[in-house]
Amino acid sequence: MSMFALYQHNRTPDRAEIDDALSGNLCRCTGYRPIVDACLHMHEYPEPDNDEKRLIAQLREIQRGQRLTLENAEASYHAPIALDDLAALYQQNPDAQILAGGTDVGLWVTKQLRELPAMIYLGDVVELKQIKNGTDAIEIGAAVTLTDAFAALQPHYPELGEMFRRFASVPVRNAGTLVGNIANGSPIGDAMPALIAIGARVRLRRGRDSRELELEDLYLDYMQNAMQPGEFVEAVIVPRPEAGTQLRCYKLSKRFDQDISAVCAAFALRLDGDQVADIRIALGGMAAIPKRASQTEDYLRGEPWNEFTLVTAGQKLAADFTPLSDMRASSDYRSRATANLLHRFYLETRIGDALPPAAVNVFAVTG
């Protein structure tokens, strides 16, 4: 199925594109070589008759025109189609579990055997499936998939391309939502450090009322957020790049594909001559929440952007975070790795002799 999707959208994929499309599949039978070999030749077959317009018309004919509600004595499931209806429904049922792509919620049920007596599905709400390209920002609705969200952001933030590529797998990105990753609030979620570094905001909705909040202020403590009962994330608002800002995002994990980060670090730097005019450093995996390195940022502002400053800044990071040791990495590894990532960022942005990313990226393909 993954290869058929690739076949539909890319008639002549190369080996790297095939590997990316297969990254979400584990083969225990033949191994990957014969599968990849077959995929390299699939474009040689005649293109099938695929009347996409007719298919879209058929899907519209069976589209529901009102909320779907399924209830019994023990559980309820609601799938509204309008934002106002969703907001009113969730305000009346604040203990219900909101469901979008289900990439996390599904595991709660299948692996943790959790009972979810009330669920509200937001994937049919038309207003939440929209991406709005404004003059100053890109607004991504709560039901927009990761695939579509990343496609909208990457032209503006090409520096985030590797993070987008390594974020879960193609099937997960096609199902999960960017806002779902944000609302879940995992301290090892890869989207938040990058979004916090570039100053993203969230729009929260409760009943008829809405408010905006800096994304970094959404998180209070481990799996605790600033949302009130009956309030949900309606959209994430990503500002357009600021001229002169240099951005990088790095993911450290034991495998390149299909692995949760030990550390995810994002840096946004603006220089004034040879001095740091502003810098934002956001990290995942280093605390109970995605968090900025505020003390390190305060030290760097106004300082010269040079090797001596970076050595001291790396030491300041230790005061910003006291990471845990777990199955993915030790506390010492996380601390050392984060300081090294800051140094890597410096090497890519130092004045007069900046290294290209390929020179410091172990995964870079070189001639």
Q: Measured between alpha carbons, how far is 12 from 20 in angstroms, rounded to an integer?
A: 14
Q: What is the pLDDT of residue 255?
A: 81
**Is residue 99 helix, strand or coil?**
strand
Q: Measured between alpha carbons, how far is 339 from 345 in angstroms, rounded to an integer?
A: 10
Q: Which CATH class is domain 131-239?
A: alpha beta
Residues 6+ apart with CB under 8 A from 181: 146, 189, 190, 191, 192
Residues 6+ apart with CB under 8 A from 356: 348
Q: What is the pLDDT of residue 365?
A: 56
Q: What is the pLDDT of residue 302?
A: 96
Say yes or no to pLDDT of 358 above 90.
Answer: no
Residue 367: which pLDDT band, with cuts at 50, 70 and 90?
very low
Mean pLDDT of 4-20: 85
Q: Which residues pair with 209 in a beta bridge?
A: 206
Cβ–Cβ < 8 Å for 238, 140:
yes
**Is residue 98 helix, strand or coil?**
strand
Q: What is the pLDDT of residue 326?
A: 85
Q: Which amino acid is at 331?
A: S
Say yes or no to pLDDT of 226 above 90.
Answer: yes
Q: Measured between alpha carbons, how far is 148 from 203 in angstroms, rounded to an integer?
A: 19
Token pair in block for residue 199: 């100053």
Mean pLDDT lowest for which of 21-30, 260-269, 298-307?
Answer: 21-30
Q: Measured between alpha carbons, how far is 99 from 218 in angstroms, rounded to an integer?
A: 19
User: Which one is the CATH code of 63-121: 3.90.1300.10, 3.30.43.10, 3.40.140.10, 1.10.10.60?
Assistant: 3.30.43.10
Token pair in block for residue 352: 């007069």
User: Which one is the CATH code of 245-359: 3.30.70.360, 3.50.50.60, 2.30.40.10, 3.30.390.50?
Assistant: 3.30.390.50
Q: Measured between alpha carbons, how far is 1 from 246 in angstroms, rounded to an integer?
A: 39
Does 262 or 228 have the greater pLDDT score?
Answer: 228
Instruction: Determine phi and psi for 290, rounding to 5 degrees.
Output: -60, 135
Query: Computed from CA positions of residues 136, 141, 146, 152, in that sequence, does the dihedral angle turn out positive or negative?
Result: negative
187-212 burial, b at 16+ Cβ within 10 Å, e below that, comes to bbbbbbbbbbbbbbbbbbbbeeeeee
Mean residue pLDDT across the chain = 91
Residue 364: which pLDDT band, with cuts at 50, 70 and 90?
low
**pLDDT by residue (tens digit) across 73-100?**
999 999 999 999 999 999 999 999 999 9
Cα angle 293, 299, 301 (rounded to 5 degrees) comes to: 100
Q: Which residues pair with 204 in a beta bridge?
A: 211, 233
Q: Measured between alpha carbons, how far is 261 from 278 in angstroms, rounded to an integer?
A: 27
Domain residue limits, the chain = 1-39, 63-121, 131-239, 245-359
Question: CATH topology of 131-239 equal to that of 245-359?
Answer: no
Q: Which residues pair with 43 in a beta bridge?
A: none
**pLDDT by residue (tens digit) across 38-59?**
889 888 877 767 777 888 888 8
Cβ–Cβ < 8 Å for 221, 230:
no
Q: Which residues pair with 225 in a beta bridge?
A: 219
Residue 209: which pLDDT band, with cuts at 50, 70 and 90?
very high
Residue 257: which pLDDT band, with cuts at 50, 70 and 90?
confident
